[in-house]
């Protein structure tokens, strides 16, 4: 195993492309905790990891966050703001970091727009079509699925209250839209976020490890038209490093 890993490490060239992982879920599902834990695990096995979130801390993202406390924008303006924020995020951070071969972990992406703005009355199919036209598809979307009746009290306890985006009836419908996406989109993986934090962390690592092995075997680099996806397949190394991390003695 150690020899195989050294060989794979040696093969890692500047050409190796990055890996793009997105976390989705209703507010309070535990995304930020899991992102921190995954970042640490991936750094431990030798990856350079960048984390980010949407809405971002740039101009449009700040405007959106502000609206959560001062009053939501009309749907069309809100959609427009999320799209502008995302385009800037892709151009300035996601794209360049993937091209540098980093692992990029993002807290929310266009699946949130489909679920949240879809819940507000936006046309779900139309939003998804618009997003897929400009936004690179992640390698993995990890949907931390949880019941808002369980997660909402967590938000209220931890952050001292909810905001305009967080009403339980809306969140139930948002959860349903996320679940629909996990059934229809091959890149979206649903995991049960009601479980213990460490158990969930291990499940996510196991899922990534297993899927990396499938992809390595299939060698299905079907998305070479995306400029961020050119370069050697990262899956053999990713699988080798994660399996060593999960079973260090073997």
- The only residue of 56, 112, 151, 182 in contact with ligand TYD, by rule CB under 6 A: 112
Cβ-Cβ contacts under 8 Å for 1 (sequence gap 6 or more) = 240, 244, 250
- Residue 113 in the binding site for ligand TYD (CB under 6 A): yes
The Cα 41–Cα 80 span in angstroms is 36
Q: Which is nearer to ligand TYD, 101 or 148 (CB)?
A: 148
Count of residues that interact with ligand TYD, criterion CB under 6 A: 12
- The only residue of 17, 52, 54, 193 in contact with ligand TYD, by rule CB under 6 A: 54
Distances (CA, A) of 175 to 34, 111, 212: 18, 11, 27
Count CB atoms within 10 A of the CB of residue 161.
Answer: 10
- The only residue of 17, 21, 23, 27 in contact with ligand TYD, by rule CB under 6 A: 27
68 in Cβ contact with 159 (< 8 Å): no
- Residue 151 in the binding site for ligand TYD (CB under 6 A): no
- Residue 55 in the binding site for ligand TYD (CB under 6 A): yes
Q: How far is CA 249 from the centre of its chain?
A: 30
- Residue 97 in the binding site for ligand TYD (CB under 6 A): no
**Contact positions with ligand TYD (CB under 6 A) in 34-53:** 53
- Residue 116 in the binding site for ligand TYD (CB under 6 A): yes
Q: Which is nearer to ligand TYD, 51 or 232 (CB)?
A: 51
121 in Cβ contact with 75 (< 8 Å): yes
- Residue 122 in the binding site for ligand TYD (CB under 6 A): no
* Shortest spacing between CB 115 and ligand TYD, in angstroms: 8
- The only residue of 23, 82, 140, 178 in contact with ligand TYD, by rule CB under 6 A: 82
Binding mask 156-195 for ligand TYD (x = CB under 6 A): ---------xx-----------------------------
Q: Which is nearer to ligand TYD, 94 or 242 (CB)?
A: 94
Tokens 């996601």 -> residue: 94
Tokens 């839209």 -> residue: 177
150: its two tokens = 């369980």
* Shortest spacing between CB 138 and ligand TYD, in angstroms: 13
* Shortest spacing between CB 163 and ligand TYD, in angstroms: 7
Give the residue closest to ligand TYD by C-beta.
116
121 phi, psi to nearest 5 deg: 120, 0
Helices (H), the chain: 2-11, 31-44, 59-70, 75-89, 95-99, 110-112, 118-119, 124-134, 148-159, 168-184, 197-218, 235-246
Q: How many CA atoms lie within 13 A of 73 on its CB side?
A: 17
* Shortest spacing between CB 78 and ligand TYD, in angstroms: 7
Residues found near ligand TYD in the complex (CB under 6 A):
27, 53-55, 82, 108, 112-113, 116-117, 165-166
């Amino acid at each position: 195993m150690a020899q195989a890993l050294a060989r794979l490490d040696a093969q890692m060239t500047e050409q190796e492309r990055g890996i793009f992982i997105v976390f989705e879920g209703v507010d309070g599902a535990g995304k930020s905790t899991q992102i921190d834990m995954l970042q640490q695990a991936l750094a431990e096995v030798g990856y350079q990891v960048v984390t980010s979130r949407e809405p971002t801390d740039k101009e449009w993202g700040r405007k959106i966050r502000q609206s959560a406390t001062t009053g939501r924008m009309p749907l069309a303006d809100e959609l427009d703001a999320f799209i502008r924020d995302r385009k800037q995020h892709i151009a300035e951070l996601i794209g360049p970091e993937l091209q540098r071969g980093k692992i990029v972990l993002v807290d929310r992406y266009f699946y949130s727009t489909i679920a949240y703005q879809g819940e507000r009355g936006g046309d779900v199919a139309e939003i998804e079509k618009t997003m897929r036209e400009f936004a690179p598809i992640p390698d993995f979307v990890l949907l931390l699925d949880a019941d808002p009746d369980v997660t909402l009290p967590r938000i209220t306890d931890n952050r001292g209250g909810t905001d305009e985006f967080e009403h339980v009836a809306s969140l139930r419908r948002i959860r349903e839209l996320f679940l629909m996406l996990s059934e229809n989109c091959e890149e979206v993986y649903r995991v049960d976020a009601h479980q213990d934090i460490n158990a969930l962390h291990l499940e996510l690592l196991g899922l990534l490890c297993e899927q990396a092995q499938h992809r390595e075997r299939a060698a299905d680099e079907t998305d070479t038209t995306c400029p961020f996806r050119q370069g050697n397949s990262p899956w053999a190394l990713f699988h080798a490093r994660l399996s060593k991390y999960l079973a260090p003695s073997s």
